[in-house]
Amino acid sequence: MELIMSILAGVLFTAGVYNLLQKQMLRIIIGTALISHGAHLFILTMGELKTGAPPILDYDIEHYADPLPQALILTSIVISFGVTSLLLVLAYRASKENGTDNMEKLRGNEND
Amino acid sequence: MLFAVFLPVLLAIFIPFFSKWKEKIHTGYFVLLAPLAVFIYFVPHVGNDFSPVSQSYNWIPSLNIGLDFYLDGLSLLFVLLISGIGTLVTFYSIFYLHKSERLDQFYVYLLLFMTAMFGVVLSDNVFVLYSFWELTSISSFLLIGYWNYREGSRYGALKSMLITVFGGLSMLGGFILLSIITETTSIQAMMEQADVILSSEYFGLILALVLLGAFTKSAQFPFHIWLPDAMEAPTPVSAYLHSATMVKAGIFLVARFTPIFSGSDWFFVFVSGIGILTLVWGSYMAVRQTDLKGILAFSTISQLGMIMSMLGFGTSVAIFAAVFHILNHATFKGSLFMIAGIVDHETGTRDIRRLGGLATLMPISATLAFFGTFSMAGVPLPFLNGFYSKEMFFDASLEIHESSIAFANVLAQAIPYLAVFGSIFTFVYSMYLVFGTFMGEKKLDQLKMKPHEAPIGMLVSPIILVLGVVIIGIFPNLVNSTFLAHTAEAIYGQPMKAKHVEFWHGWITPLYMSLIVVGVGAVLAFTRKSWNSIYSFFPGKLSFNKVYDFLVDQSEKASAKITNLYMTGSLRLYMALILVAILVCSFGVLWITDGFAFDTTGLAEITVHEILIALTMAVAAICTIFTRNKIAAILILGVVGYGLALLFVVYRAPDLALTQLVVETITVALFLLCFYHLPNLRERTEKASQKLINIVISVAFGTLMTVVAISAHSTKLFDKISDYFLETSYKLGGGDNVVNVILVDMRGIDTLFEIVVLGIAAFAIYGLIKLRNKKEAE
């Protein structure tokens, strides 16, 4: 199963990076969101996907799923949520302010 | 010696205080103390029974770098030259520079330079030598650019800086190699290991690097181009730095390392070859100049070439002649520069075409100039020191030992002829200089002011120097046994008898050579106008200045071109470059270290519902690329997020699934909220080639991540730490939910800063929304 998950993560990265290389700001944000999904899946796969109980202690259970990647992903989800929402508002403001959401047009002034 | 070296800089600290009173008393009088004190300190060392003195002070003991000073004959000659001429130049500058100039800056730079030069010639440690060496470059840069409002000064300063620092850095490279090979940083200790250095496989490189430093500093061909442009400096500076002291630092360096390098034939080939070439080229080009200081600059270049070539010959006669000429050149060239400055000061021009017939108006300067130039030309008169050094030079050029390199032998055969050729032109420009300025018709109408004799204070220094010319000329043996013999001995590396110099040797070859020089030179000098047009054929438009300008210009243009090539302002391109770099490095490392591993043992079972979720997610992710409806795009992104949440459920991560669901919901809501105001997704308009590149990059990146994931999964090097968390979660953390215990207890700091991140994002979003530009506010 890890192989399939690795490939899925790869597909998410591919789609994310392709979106990242676009001109439109929205597509770039979609790209970053996809990449963070891919990264979370990647971390989860790096632990073990073997079936074990959820890491909530119980006296009868021997095998648990790996709790550490889960903690890391949880932190990461929250941070990427914060970053994505900031990016969104930033994109909104930037396109309002500049009248365009085309990254190719949003270049620095040569004389700055 | 430490105090002597640093005395000028210590004095420089007080310059701002002295210059407060500069209206009453010229700052230069205070400055005079430093070189004079050093001169008086070192003079007692002159004598028959001189023996080297060495002193050490700690600086960086862990790197074996200390302020080690070593005073032998060679250092003594230079230290006396620097302090002696330094005193005279400072005295001269008091009358040359008006009180309205920025005197404090001038003298601070000058004192800095003195310390640097003392340090260069007295250091025994290669790295200390290098430090002072660069300090001379820096202070020279400051002094050349002293009148920084002039374009020419800035150009000359930058040029000299670039060339000498280029040489200085290569010299540092040579020093580092030397110190690694010999495991010492002391020059004297290196000399004892000369055979180790000579037999080292890096010897060629060391020789080239160190000589490059010496050649650039001493304005040897083709690095001579900075010296004529350095003439933009005030004349006292030109007289001091660019004739008597700093340009001899390269000579000093070659002389200092002669005991180590002279065993090599390549040393002979390079040092004498470049030296003689510089002599010929410098004297040939000097005749072409029209600026007094320009003539003197090329003359300095050619005289330095002569000294350099004599050091290259390496015979005892040649080395003694070189040492003798270092002293002689400093005396007559210093005085000539000062006289050029006087002429400039009193007439307002240095253009020799507008000067003439000044002898009756400025009799003292004219007399001094005659002594100086005749000595420089090597006219056979018994009271001119230049003649002795020239004759010794011819003598040395005839006595070059047989060498094992064929090229060196050819060079050795050609040297006497080249020497005579260069000396003829030396004679020509010397005569041109002195007769063009002081004899012939007066052209007073072309001068800015009415010329008259300079104030006596300005004449004192050149008079002293010319007295030196004459005294050494009449009693050449006065300085030989007491002084120069020790210097020559330090360079030659073996005890050496003082050479007895006499005016009359009898009818020998060097004398005939001198007579040829005077004869042919006189004819050429007085028919100069008729053959002057040869310069438009050779070198014509060829010039090393053009090469320098081209290089500087091109390096600027090329770097601008390269930067503009990739710094286009397009974020897409930057992203692509970053990704390509990651791809190249990662695949490269995987390839080189054979990092790819594939191991199917211990994998989890494949189940149908997981595959279905994965397929849905993959299709949804790819669909985001093709959709043109923004609402659809958000919803498709939501499919990926919820799919991930489902996977978290499957893989026994309830907290993750919960968070992912909530976050995904909020994100989708946010997107919807935000996108309402945003323009709709446009059709992707990139070109087919662009599209292909994007596809290649993104597929390659996805493949990389998959490959990395598979490889990492297939190589488990260590047991995981999670068992510890599982065991101690309840005992130490007091909780059953291990993930939550990790988040708030075991790795609580992560959580703290994650909260901070959220807080900052919230504030930033609030600020962005509240922010209104003027247009919106209205």
DSSP letters for B110-125? HHHHHHHHHHHHHB-B
Residue A13 is assigned to a structural domain of this protein: yes
d(CA B518, CA B524): 10
Using CB atoms and an 8 Å cut-off, which of residues 14-33 of chain A contact chain B? 14-27, 30, 33
B710 contacts in chain A (CB < 8 Å): 2-3, 6
* pLDDT tens digits for range B175-230: 999 999 998 899 998 988 888 888 888 999 999 999 999 999 999 988 999 999 99
Give the nearest partner residue to B722 out of A9, A53, A66, using CB atoms.
Answer: A66
Q: Do A1 and B605 touch (CB under 8 A)?
A: yes
Distance from CA of A92 to the nearest CA of B (A): 7
Task: Please tell me if residue A82 touches chain B, with a CB cutoff of 8 Å.
Answer: yes
B368 and B250 fall within a common domain: no
Whole-structure pTM value: 0.83
Residue B243 corresponds to which tokens in the numbers above?
């004739």
B275 and B253 fall within a common domain: no
**What's the pLDDT score for residue A112?**
46
**What's the pLDDT score for residue B640?**
93
Residue B296 is assigned to a structural domain of this protein: yes
What DSSP line would sit under B535-553, residue for residue? HHHTTTT--HHHHHHHHHH
- pLDDT(B90) > 60: yes
**What's the pLDDT score for residue B452?**
75
Q: Do B736 and A68 touch (CB under 8 A)?
A: no
In angstroms, how far apart are the furthest CA atoms of chain A? 71
Q: Do A85 and B670 touch (CB under 8 A)?
A: yes
Please name the residue of chain A whose CA is at the shortest distance from the CA of residue B704. Answer: A10
B333 and B348 fall within a common domain: yes
- Domain final position from B494, B526, B558: B526
Residue A20 is assigned to a structural domain of this protein: yes
The distance of Cα B114 from the centroid of its chain, to the nearest Å, equals: 19
* pLDDT tens digits for range B38-48: 999 998 888 77
**What's the pLDDT score for residue B355?**
84
d(CA A112, CA A102): 20
State whether residue B234 is helix, strand or coil.
coil
* pLDDT tens digits for range A45-61: 887 777 678 888 877 77
Task: Tell me which residue range forms the domain holding B775.
Answer: 720-778
B419 and B397 fall within a common domain: yes
**What's the pLDDT score for residue B751?**
93
Residue B287 is assigned to a structural domain of this protein: yes
Q: Do B754 and A2 touch (CB under 8 A)?
A: no
d(CA B125, CA B55): 11
Residue B661 is assigned to a structural domain of this protein: no
The overall average pLDDT reported for chain B is: 87
> Please, what sign has the CA dihedral across residues A69, A71, A75, A81?
positive
B488 and B361 fall within a common domain: yes
- Candidates B606, B649, B652, partner chain A, best to mutate (most A CBs within 10 A): B652
- pLDDT(B304) > 50: yes
**What's the pLDDT score for residue B121?**
92
Q: Report the percent of chain B where pLDDT is more than 90.
A: 36
Q: Which of A5-9, B68-72, B131-135, B360-364 has the lowest mean pLDDT?
A: B360-364
B384 vs B553, more confident: B553
- Domain final position from B261, B296, B316: B261
**What's the pLDDT score for residue B595?**
79
Using CB atoms and an 8 Å cut-off, which of residues 637-656 of chain B contact chain A? 637, 640-641, 644, 647-648, 651-656
Distance from CA of B754 to the nearest CA of A (A): 6
* pLDDT tens digits for range B233-243: 899 999 998 88
Q: Do A53 and B757 touch (CB under 8 A)?
A: no
- pLDDT(B21) > 80: no
* pLDDT tens digits for range B251-273: 999 999 998 888 888 888 889 89
Where b means 16+ CB within 10 Å and e means fewer, B552-584 reads: eeeeeeeeeeeeeeeeeeebbeebbeebeeebe
B157 and B274 fall within a common domain: no
Q: Quick one: average pLDDT of B690-711?
A: 91
Q: Quick one: average pLDDT of B148-165?
A: 92
* pLDDT tens digits for range B451-475: 777 788 888 899 999 998 888 888 8
Q: Please report, for residues A93, B151, B232, B433, the alpha-carbon distance to residue B291 in angstroms, rounded to integers and kept in the order given.
A: 66, 17, 11, 10
Residue found under tokens 């600059």: B297
Q: Do A68 and B651 touch (CB under 8 A)?
A: no
B201 and B286 fall within a common domain: no
d(CA B172, CA B154): 26
Please name the residue of chain A whose CA is at the shortest distance from the CA of residue B679. Answer: A101
Confidence of residue B634 (pLDDT cuts 50, 70, 90): confident
- Number of folded domains that form chain B: 3
Residue A74 is assigned to a structural domain of this protein: yes
Please name the residue of chain A whose CA is at the shortest distance from the CA of residue B745. Answer: A71
- Domain final position from B504, B526, B548: B526
* pLDDT tens digits for range B637-654: 899 999 999 999 988 888
Q: Do A77 and B674 touch (CB under 8 A)?
A: no
Helices (H) and strands (E) in chain A, counts: 3, 0
Confidence of residue B298 (pLDDT cuts 50, 70, 90): very high
d(CA B701, CA B722): 30
Residue A18 is assigned to a structural domain of this protein: yes
- pLDDT(A111) > 60: no
Residue pair B194/B259 in contact (Cβ under 8 Å)? The answer is yes
d(CA A85, CA A36): 13
Residue found under tokens 């007085």: B526
Q: Do A53 and B652 touch (CB under 8 A)?
A: yes
**What's the pLDDT score for residue B678?**
67
Distance from CA of A12 to the nearest CA of B (A): 6
Confidence of residue B775 (pLDDT cuts 50, 70, 90): low
What DSSP line would sit under B16-83, residue for residue? HHHGGGTTTS-THHHHTHHHHHHHHHHGGG-STT---EEEEEEEEGGGTEEEEEEE-HHHHHHHHHHH
Give the nearest partner residue to A70 out of B618, B624, B656, using CB atoms.
Answer: B656
**Residue B262 DSSP code:** T
Residue B16 is assigned to a structural domain of this protein: yes
B532 vs B170, more confident: B170
B771 contacts in chain A (CB < 8 Å): 93
CATH number for the domain that contains residue A80: 1.10.287.3510
A97 contacts in chain B (CB < 8 Å): 773
Contacts with B433 (C-beta within 8 Å, 6 or more apart), sequence order: B292, B295, B296, B299, B336, B352, B369, B373
B243 vs B419, more confident: B419
B324 vs B630, more confident: B324
The distance of Cα B513 from the centroid of its chain, to the nearest Å, equals: 40
Q: Which residues pair with B186 in a beta bridge?
A: B125
Identity of the amino acid at B411: L
- pLDDT(A7) > 50: yes
- pLDDT(B481) > 90: no
Residue A22 is assigned to a structural domain of this protein: yes
What do you get for the CA distance between the two ends of chain A, in Å?
53
Q: Is B687 left (phi over 0), alpha (psi -120 to 50) or beta?
A: beta
Residue B386 is assigned to a structural domain of this protein: yes
Q: Do B572 and A103 touch (CB under 8 A)?
A: yes
B713 contacts in chain A (CB < 8 Å): 2, 6, 45-46
d(CA B247, CA B386): 19
Residue pair B529/B290 in contact (Cβ under 8 Å)? The answer is no
Task: Tell me which residue range forms the domain holding A35.
Answer: 2-55+62-103
- Candidates B574, B630, B698, partner chain A, best to mutate (most A CBs within 10 A): B698
Task: Please tell me if residue B511 touches chain A, with a CB cutoff of 8 Å.
Answer: no
- Number of folded domains that form chain A: 1
B174 and B290 fall within a common domain: no
Q: Do B652 and A10 touch (CB under 8 A)?
A: no
* pLDDT tens digits for range A60-104: 777 888 888 899 999 999 999 999 889 888 888 887 777 777 777
Task: Please tell me if residue A61 touches chain B, with a CB cutoff of 8 Å.
Answer: no
Residue B498 is assigned to a structural domain of this protein: yes
d(CA B64, CA B75): 22
- pLDDT(B438) > 90: no
ipTM, interface predicted TM-score of the complex: 0.93
**What's the pLDDT score for residue B735?**
87
Please name the residue of chain B whose CA is at the shortest distance from the CA of residue A28. Answer: B572
- pLDDT(B157) > 90: yes
Distance from CA of B668 to the nearest CA of A (A): 10
Q: Please report, for residues A23, B559, B568, B777, the alpha-carbon distance to residue A100 in angstroms, rounded to integers and kept in the order given.
A: 11, 33, 19, 20
Q: Quick one: average pLDDT of B417-439?
A: 89
State whether residue B415 is helix, strand or coil.
helix
* pLDDT tens digits for range B489-521: 888 877 776 666 666 667 778 888 888 888 998
Residue A112 is assigned to a structural domain of this protein: no
Task: Please tell me if residue B101 touches chain A, with a CB cutoff of 8 Å.
Answer: no
- Candidates B587, B697, B705, partner chain A, best to mutate (most A CBs within 10 A): B705
Q: Work out the angle between the directed axes of helices A25-46 and A2-20 (0-180°, nearest 10).
A: 160
Using CB atoms and an 8 Å cut-off, which of residues 677-696 of chain B contact chain A? 677-679, 681-682, 684-686, 694-695
Helix/strand/coil (H, E, C) string of B193-214? CHHHHHCCCCHHHHHHHHHHHH
